[in-house]
Structure 1
């Protein structure tokens, strides 16, 4: 499948996008994605950070055909039972591109988001993290590890992260980064797991409160849940600089 041609269409089917996603996923390299993520921390290249959340979600995302929700009548806006996307999808990438370039993470869970993020990250040149990148990431992890039992990532912890020297970010970018650690299963709870080993349809995943604008599962995370070091080792075990959190 030539995935370049997918983006030339005005409308694409659910099943075509699924095929395109898995073509790009097959090309994806974990080291490239994690190195790009790390390399974004001391730079202004937020696009380097954007691929990892989708790569994490694809660890358990099912390859599937469009399937109606049980007892759902077919219509133009009938969602897929597996992923909640429509059967026919308009290819408007303006907002997707903006999120990829300026937020450094996911702002939606549409198939178009997944496809675009994977394709664009695969097109990036491989990059090695710098000393400053490791330093920033270790400081983020230390803040999370030392959180009080009832701390959430939404207020105090995010405020502390915002003060890390050399880490330029706004609240939306920090939220996207912390949500990425959730998708990676690094920040999860006993009941609300990340995507490393089990699939959750993030489009309809439960939120902690009706008003919460944080995504699953980090929306449920508290300081007492800590860092899942087994998941951390899966993602970042190839970096000696981060071995402290792989034990």
Structure 2
């Protein structure tokens, strides 16, 4: 799970704009914290008191949470650097081929939720784990919605990450916009998974 998470964090920060929250447009949220309109980071009065344990728990339990949170990406990639690298097995590659085949075969108007259901049984996973995997593939641009910014070869600013407006749609950006007609981006797939 933590290796999947690192992939999403890497994709999120690959084109991260160098900036300081103090010099970018920001919004004040209900707690009084400033939220950077570029990266989405919440400025804290005392960053040393920020509890990283729930973020680390999410890495191991589901394959990550807060995928568009710069603090999470920092934690995730810092911990990943200490991990022993693993080469994918033939079985791993076969599973990925099945995931991609399923995504490519979805109906034109299928959503990320439809894809999550279609992936049931393709690999050993819970619903939450399948959701996280789809969101990671969307962050990587492998499941890139057409006409929407993403993170592959660019960085979509926090203020530009539109939501569908559907109150029942709780998918993160850009997975919330993916449709079956978008299929799989072969360019992003080749960049992140050159051996498939």
Question: What is the TM-score of this pair, normalised by structure 2?
Answer: 0.88
Task: Work out which of the residue numbers 126, 132, 155 in structure 2 matches 1:199.
Answer: 155
User: Pick from 179, 191, 195: which aligns with 1:234?
Assistant: 191
Correspondence 1:62 to 2:21? no
**Equivalent-residue separation in structure 1 for 2:91 and 2:33 (angstroms):** 46
Q: Does the 8 A contact of 1:77 with 1:86 survive in 2?
A: yes
Per-residue deviation, 1:210 = 3.0
SS at match of 2:36: coil
Runs of at least 5 residues in structure 2 that lack an aligned partner in the other structure = none
* Residue 189 of structure 1, aligned match among 128, 145, 164: 145
8 A contact 2:62–2:129 mirrored in 1: yes
* Paired positions, count: 191
Q: Is the 8 A contact 1:105 1:177 kept in 2?
A: no
Alpha carbons of structure 1 residues 202 and 98: separation in structure 2 relative to 1, 3 Å: farther
> Could you report, residue by residue, the CA deviation over 1:176-220 in whole angstroms, capped at 9, with x for unpaired residues?
111111111111122113201221135872122233110111111
Partner of 1:154, secondary structure, is helix
Considering Cα pairs closer than 8 Å and 6+ residues apart, tell me whether 1 or 2 has the greater RCO.
2
Mapped pair 1:160 → 2:118: yes
Question: In the alignment, which residue of structure 2 is the partner of 1:222?
Answer: 179
Q: Is the 8 A contact 1:105 1:173 kept in 2?
A: no
CA contact (8 A) 1:104 1:176 kept: yes
TM-score, normalising length from structure 1? 0.71
Q: Which has the larger radius of gyration?
A: 1
Q: How does 1:1-247 map to 2 (within 5 A)?
A: 46-67=1-22, 70=25, 77-88=33-44, 89=47, 90-155=49-114, 157-164=115-122, 167-202=123-158, 205-208=161-164, 209-237=166-194, 239=195, 242=196
Quote the offset at 1:81 in angstroms: 3.0
8 A Cα contact 2:27 2:36, kept in partner: no
Q: Distance in 1 between matches of 2:133 and 2:109?
A: 20
Pair 204,170 (structure 1): closer, same or farther in 2 beyond 3 Å: farther
C-alpha contact 2:163 2:176 (8 A) present in aligned 1: yes
The C-alpha deviation readout for 1:123-167, integer Å capped at 9, x for no partner, is 100111111101111001000011111111203x22221111xx2
What does the per-residue CA deviation read over 1:78-107, in whole Å, with 9 as the maximum and x for residues that have no partner?
122322323333420121011111111333
Gaps of 5+ in 1: 1-45, 243-247
